[in-house]
Chains A and B, each alone.
Chain A
């Protein structure tokens, strides 16, 4: 009995690891609950009760003979990474189909994570930042110079994200700070004498900061029945949008913009 409890705990631990990482990568709540349930059931759990919100995971699993195991996780990170999300989706499918030994599960999980980390992620992200901001500056009516400047500021935002995110732990404060830096540097170009549209530059860079994923996931969560997490995500993303506005506005006002 002791051994089987140990095994059950190990199984649940890995299931939670997978679920937690999926949540951090940008998976929807229902997907995380579904994954955890499937993994546990494929190893003979009679009942799985997962409760997932964006900031925590609670799971109780029942096995034959009345044995129950519960574990909790606090989740307070978010770093969108859809490659990892897909890999983990794949892994959970593999686990359900092949049922590898429970003691080997953790190794499988860590192997996948290592494979994903090998690929140079941050350069790709930098390129994405520059491309997205440059094209959206033009998309909203800017000219070529605007798009180049927007891309330049995107590099700055990327640097902030790479080095300052760890220092400023609070997401909202970080967002405020990033928006302020973005607004201030865009304003600086308005004094350069170049024929620039500061508004278009800022819009291009704001598109990078807007929590689009969180908002879409919020809508999806609410309508798949996960009201609490949906509301949490919605509140979070609205607050973030407010922070972006506050940061930009204060930068423009302080730099002597049209106030």
Chain B
């Protein structure tokens, strides 16, 4: 069990690394960006091991990924998107998207429904995670600005 986890995290790390090359990240940022993917996968597995629901696990993992990206972007003074993509990539529901298709071909409609719903839910969880962080950070920076003006 432990071994599959480690393989999965390593693959997520390498996959994010591949994506960082693909979107042509700057050299000095590639390491931190792909680390984000590995950490996100680790965090996701951690949530899964706490036996929370699938939706919750994806939501918190995407919150983690976005927070990581925002942090890195602020530290390295780079656009946030640069770090969001490699960090979120391991969460993309490529698997359930494919199985939706496969079940459709096999005319196994109950499985089509199951897989399609799962794909949509994962996508929703990721989107919610990303926007949740953006909204909270916006509110925080709004308050920070107000306080500055107040001083």
Is the beta-carbon distance between B134 and A86 smaller than 8 angstroms? Answer: no
The answer for the CA separation of A80 and B21 in the assembled complex, in Å, is 11
Is the beta-carbon distance between B105 and A253 smaller than 8 angstroms? Answer: yes
- Please tell me the number of chain A residues within 8 Å of chain B, measured between CB atoms: 53
Query: Could you give, for residues 2-27 of chain B, a 1 whenever the CB lies within 8 Å of some chain A CB and a 0 otherwise?
Result: 00000110111111011111111110
Is the beta-carbon distance between A130 and B23 smaller than 8 angstroms? Answer: no
Known interface pairs A82-B25, A140-B95, A203-B98. Does A132 touch B15 (Cβ–Cβ under 8 Å)?
Answer: yes
> Which of B26, B90, B105 is A86 in contact with, Cβ under 8 Å?
B26
* Residue B141 lies at the interface, judged by CB distance under 8 Å to chain A: no
Interface of B is mostly: helix
The answer for the CA separation of A26 and B86 in the assembled complex, in Å, is 14
Is the beta-carbon distance between A128 and B20 smaller than 8 angstroms? Answer: yes
> Which of B26, B94, B127, B134 is A136 in contact with, Cβ under 8 Å?
B94
Which residue on A lies nearest to B22, using beta carbons? Answer: A128
The answer for the CA separation of A259 and B19 in the assembled complex, in Å, is 33
* Residue A24 lies at the interface, judged by CB distance under 8 Å to chain B: no
Tell me the minimal C-beta distance from B133 to chain A in angstroms: 10
Tell me the minimal C-beta distance from B5 to chain A in angstroms: 12
* Residue B139 lies at the interface, judged by CB distance under 8 Å to chain A: no
- Please tell me the number of chain B residues within 8 Å of chain A, measured between CB atoms: 44
Is the beta-carbon distance between A213 and B105 smaller than 8 angstroms? Answer: no
Is the beta-carbon distance between A130 and B18 smaller than 8 angstroms? Answer: yes
Query: Could you give, for residues 201-217 of chain A, a 1 whenever the CB lies within 8 Å of some chain B CB and a 0 otherwise?
Result: 01100111010110111
Known interface pairs A26-B81, A31-B79. Does A124 touch B21 (Cβ–Cβ under 8 Å)?
Answer: yes
B-chain residues with CB within 8 Å of residue A11 when the two chains form the complex = none
Tell me the minimal C-beta distance from A203 to chain B in angstroms: 5
Residue ranges of A at the interface with B (Cβ–Cβ < 8 Å): 26-28, 31, 80-86, 89, 121, 124-125, 127-136, 138-140, 199, 202-203, 206-208, 210, 212-213, 215-217, 219-220, 223-224, 241, 245, 248-249, 252-253, 257-259
The 4 closest A-B pairs by CB, nearest first: A132-B18, A128-B21, A131-B18, A128-B22
